[in-house]
């Protein structure tokens, strides 16, 4: 199987850095360029110091011919970049922003929503992919098995995310004196990923008319997302577990576990681990991911693997931090 050439646009941020780390160790990829206007000419390791000894590649402000481009830009910037730059139709585009997740397109480019557990066949056939959001990924993977048999009504979900979920832009809630030993809710019931989640649920349960009542929290840790979603159902727990295991059969990164779930099981991996608990007619679905990997760069590389016919796990056999 031939190797491919890849480029990254927006390589100085958290998702850009994670994508660099994954691609320079990918068995089927040559990382050809990393674009950054503000860092052009600087070594990658001048920004990402952990890359010392890994690469001598420098940031550039020009584009080169490649097979796939990862857009690791801020929301609203990806669409602008594609309009302002000429990219060959044969080049695959994987966008990590929210610009194309809700069906927006550009002349000649129609984007597929890149949740592999939902749209794998479409991902195999597309050249343009909208990578899902981090909270959206964790919540959708927790809910979609219930949507397939039409079991979803009203959903109440709470999720907590690490500081890297806010990006690198300086803000008061990123200051260590504020973040340490502290948590807070934000964007209560208005988070931008609610529309994305609802769209995916309706894709397989068209009659869904309930609300996704989502309260996100900022956590006192650097990375990871832990979500708990509550839904009503009369089905017994053993039957629900079978529904989940059947839905995720053959999906290498989504695991349904009987054991109590904790965040360190998934941090530094591309996994989503799901655990179910039930009391009366209330089902609680716990789901956990690393927001920078399965919630961003890892899922983007997983999508690239599917698009180019590589082993879906290539470059993503990562060890959880655990300790």
In the chain, how many domains are there?
2
Task: Single out the catalytic residue among 134, 155, 273, 316.
Answer: 134
Predicted TM-score (pTM) of the model is: 0.95
pLDDT at position 177, please? 76
Domain span including residue 32: 4-131+296-308
Quick one: 157 and 244 in the same domain? yes
Quick one: 170 and 280 in the same domain? yes
Asked whether the predicted pLDDT for residue 178 surpasses 90, the reply is: no
In this structure, is residue 51 part of a structural domain?
A: yes
211-215 long-range contacts, Cβ below 8 Å, gap at least 24? 211/154, 211/155, 212/139, 212/155, 212/157, 213/154, 213/155, 213/156, 213/157, 213/189, 214/135, 214/139, 214/157, 214/158, 214/159, 214/189, 215/157, 215/158, 215/159, 215/185, 215/188, 215/189
Quick one: 113 and 205 in the same domain? no
In this structure, is residue 216 part of a structural domain?
A: yes
Quick one: 39 and 162 in the same domain? no
Instruction: Single out the residue of 145, 114, 117 nearest to residue 132, CA to CA.
Output: 114
In this structure, is residue 41 part of a structural domain?
A: yes
Work out the average pLDDT over 86-108. 95
Quick one: 272 and 142 in the same domain? yes
- Going by pLDDT thresholds of 50, 70 and 90, the confidence category of residue 170 is low
Measure the CA–CA gap between 15 and 96, rounded to whole angstroms.
8
Quick one: 77 and 14 in the same domain? yes
Quick one: 189 and 105 in the same domain? no
Work out the average pLDDT over 191-204. 97
Quick one: 179 and 238 in the same domain? yes
Work out the average pLDDT over 67-81. 96
Quick one: 209 and 112 in the same domain? no
72 flagged as catalytic: no
Instruction: Single out the residue of 315, 316, 318 nearest to residue 3, CA to CA.
Output: 315
Measure the CA–CA gap between 249 and 260, rounded to whole angstroms.
21
Residue 160 is part of a domain; what is its CATH number? 3.30.360.10
Side-chain half-sphere exposure of 4, counting CA atoms within 13 A: 18
Residue with the larger pLDDT of the pair 86 and 166: 86
Quick one: 53 and 15 in the same domain? yes
Residue 120 is part of a domain; what is its CATH number? 3.40.50.720
* pLDDT tens, position by position, 181-193: 999 999 999 999 9
In this structure, is residue 314 part of a structural domain?
A: no
């Amino acid at each position: 199987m031939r190797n491919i050439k890849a480029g990254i646009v927006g390589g100085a941020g958290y998702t850009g850095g994670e994508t660099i780390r994954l691609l320079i160790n990918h068995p089927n990829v040559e990382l050809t360029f990393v674009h950054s206007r503000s860092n052009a000419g600087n070594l990658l390791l001048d920004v990402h110091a952990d890359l010392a000894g890994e690469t001598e590649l420098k940031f550039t402000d020009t584009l080169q011919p490649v097979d796939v481009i990862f857009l690791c830009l801020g929301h609203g910037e990806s669409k602008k970049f594609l309009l302002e730059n000429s990219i060959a139709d044969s080049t695959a585009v994987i966008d990590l922003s929210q610009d194309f997740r809700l069906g927006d397109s550009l002349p000649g480019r129609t984007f597929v929503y890149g949740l592999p557990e939902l749209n794998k066949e479409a991902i195999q056939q597309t050249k343009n992919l909208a990578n899902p959001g981090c909270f959206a990924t964790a919540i959708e993977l927790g809910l979609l098995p219930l949507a397939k048999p039409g079991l979803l009504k009203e959903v109440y979900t709470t999720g907590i995310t690490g500081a890297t979920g806010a990006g690198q832009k300086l803000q008061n809630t990123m200051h260590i004196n504020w973040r340490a030993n502290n948590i807070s809710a934000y964007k209560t019931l208005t988070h931008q990923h609610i529309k994305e989640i609802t769209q995916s649920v309706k894709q397989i349960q068209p009659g869904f008319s309930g609300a996704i009542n989502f309260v996100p929290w900022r956590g006192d840790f650097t990375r990871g997302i832990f979500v708990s979603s509550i839904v009503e159902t009369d089905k017994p727990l053993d039957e629900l577990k079978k529904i989940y295991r059947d839905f995720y059969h053959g999906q290498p990164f989504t695991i349904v576990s009987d054991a109590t779930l904790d965040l360190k099981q998934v941090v530094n991996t591309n996994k989503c681990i799901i655990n179910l608990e039930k009391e009366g007619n209330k089902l609680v679905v716990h789901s956990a991911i690393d927001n920078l990997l399965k919630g961003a760069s890892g899922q983007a590389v997983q999508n690239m693997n599917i698009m180019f016919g590589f082993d879906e796990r290539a470059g993503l056999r990562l060890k959880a931090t655990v300790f």
